[in-house]
Amino acid sequence: MVSLDGARFDYPERTALPGLERIRREGASAGSLRPVTPSSTFPSHVSLATGTYPDRHGIVANRFRDPQRGEFDYSDESDWLRAEPLWIAAERQGLRAAVLFWVGSGSEWRGRAASYRRTPFDPRVSEREKVDQILDWLRLPAQRRPRLVMSWWHGPDRVGHRKGPDSPAVDEQMARQDAELVRLLEGLDALDRWDCTTLIVLGDHGMARVGRSIDLRLELRRQGLRAKVWNSGGTAYVELSERETLSRALESLRALEGVEAYPSAALPERYRLAGTGRTGDLVAFTTPPFRFGRSLGLPPRGAHGYPAEVESMGSIFFALGRGVGAGARLGRVRAIDVAPSVAALLGIEPPLASEGRSLLPELAPRECSPTRCSCPEPAAPRS
C-alpha cells in the first residue's frame, strides 16, 4: 500500500500518468477517498491504518497537546496511537509486515513492531529509494518475505501548499511520483507474483485554494483573552489560559467571518473528535478560501485540514492485483474502510477497534483466495 501525500481526487484527470492509468485500466479506482476530520496528514494516515476515526485512535492533528503527556509535534512514536494499526494486526496474527515511513510506525506499539521498518523518519529519502527498498523486501525468501508493505510517499502536498492546487507544478510533481510508481509496477511484473499481490495506491487528503488567513490567537488577544492555538489548516484547537473565559472566547470566535466554533465538550458527532482530551477547550472550523494561521507575508496558496465533507479534501484510491477485478469503479470510499479491506485481502481479522467495512465486494474479486494463492501460509501468531 502506497500513500501519495496530498493527492487530490481529480489530479489524475489533469495530466498523463501512465502508472495510475494502468492501475485504473487493469484494476479498480474510486471517484474519491473521503478523509477524516481534520483532513490532515497524521489523522488521515492513522485512520487509513487503523480503520477508526480520530476520536478512537487519538491522533487529532499533526500537532496538538495531551494534558497528561504534553505536546505531539509530528511525532512518529507508535505509543501515541490509541488504536491498533494494520502492521501490528498482521504481526499479531502471524504475518510479517514492512513499514516505510507510515505515520505512527517509528516504535513498538504495546510490545510489538513491524518485522521490517525504517526509522527515524527522514524526508530526504526519495521515492526511488523507497521503490528499491520495497522490491528488496519482496525479493526475500518466502518465509522471510513481508505479506504487508506500507509506504508513505511525498506526493504533491508540498507544492500544493506553495503553489496552490491548480498550479502546473502540481501536475509536474504528480508525473514525477507516477514515474516511480511505474518503476514499482515494473518491479512487481518482474517478480511475477500478481496471483498473490495486491497494490493499493491512495492519498490521505486533497487540497483547496486559499487566500485569506485567520489568526485566532491574535483575534482573541484583541478581546483581552489569552490562548494557545494549534492550527491545522481548516481546523484549530484553542487552549485558554483561563478556562472561565470560555464563553467569551466562544462568542468571539463565532463572531469571526467564516468561522464555526464549539466547546470541545460539545462537538457535533459528525466530526468524530469528541472525548479525546486532545482538542483543547474550543475547536474552530473554517472553509476555503479561509485558513487558520498567522499572516506573515504571503499565505500558502493551498491548504487542507478542513472537515471531511469539503469536496476538495477528497483524495485518490486505486487498486490492482489479487482480489481486484479489471475496470471496477467505486464511488466515494472512506478512509476507515481501507484497513479492513487490506485485512480481508490478507485473510486476517481487521485491526482491533476497526469501524470500517471491507471494500472487497465492490472491488469485484477474482477467483483467488488467500488460501489458494501461492503466497506463503501465515505463521503462528507471534507472542
Grid coordinates given for 245: 473565559
Residue 379 in domain: no
Q: Is the Cβ–Cβ distance between 17 and 35 less than 8 Å?
A: no
The total number of structural domains that make up the chain: 2
Domain range holding 71? 2-209+308-346
Please say which residue of 243, 271, 299 terminates a domain.
299
Grid cell listed for 10: 481529480
Reading the block at residue 35, the C-alpha cell is 478523509
Q: Read off the pLDDT of residues 124-163 as tens digits, 9 standing for 90 and up.
A: 999 999 999 999 999 999 999 999 999 999 999 999 999 9
Q: Cα(317)–Cα(7) distance, rounded to whole angstroms? A: 10
Instruction: Examine residue 373 and state whether it is found in any structural domain, yes or no.
Output: no
Q: 279 lies in a domain?
A: yes
How many C-beta neighbours within 10 Å does residue 281 have?
20
Report yes or no on 21 lying in a domain: yes
DSSP state of 235: E
pLDDT at 382: 52
Distances (CA, A) of 300 to 204, 210, 303: 19, 7, 7
Alpha carbon 374 to its chain's center = 30
Residues 49 and 176 in one domain: yes
The whole-number pLDDT of residue 378 equals: 47
Verify that 53 and 151 share a domain, yes or no.
Answer: yes
Q: What is the pLDDT of residues 90-126, one digit of tens each?
A: 999 999 999 999 999 999 999 999 999 998 999 999 9
**Burial annotation 83-111 (CB, 10 A radius, 16+ → b, else e):** bbbbbbbbbbbebbbbbbbbbbbbeebee
Q: Flag whether 257 is in a domain.
A: yes
Strands (DSSP E) contained in the chain are: 2-4, 28-34, 63-66, 70-73, 97-100, 116-117, 148-153, 198-203, 208-209, 212-214, 227-232, 235-240, 260-263, 282-285, 290-292, 302-303, 317-321, 328-334
Q: Are residues 220 and 147 in the same domain?
A: no
Helix (H, G, I), strand (E, B) or coil at 42: helix
DSSP β-ladder status, 70-73 and 198-203: unpaired
Instruction: Identify the pLDDT of residue 119.
Output: 87
The reply to whether 271 falls in a domain is: yes
Domain of 134: which CATH number? Answer: 3.40.720.10
Residues of the chain with pLDDT under 70: 296-299, 365-383
Q: Are 201 and 2 in contact (CB under 8 A)?
A: yes
pLDDT at 144: 97
Q: Tell me, yes or no, whether 164 lies in a domain.
A: yes
Cα–Cα distances in Å, from 68 out to 65, 107, 230, 272, 277?
Answer: 9, 20, 17, 21, 9
CA 161/CA 208 separation, integer angstroms: 9
Q: Are residues 60 and 182 both part of a single domain?
A: yes
What sign does the CA torsion over 36, 37, 41, 47 have? negative
Query: At 217, which CATH number?
Result: 3.30.1360.180
C-alpha cell at 86: 494494520
Examine residue 276 and state whether it is found in any structural domain, yes or no. Answer: yes
- Residue 107 corresponds to which amino acid? S
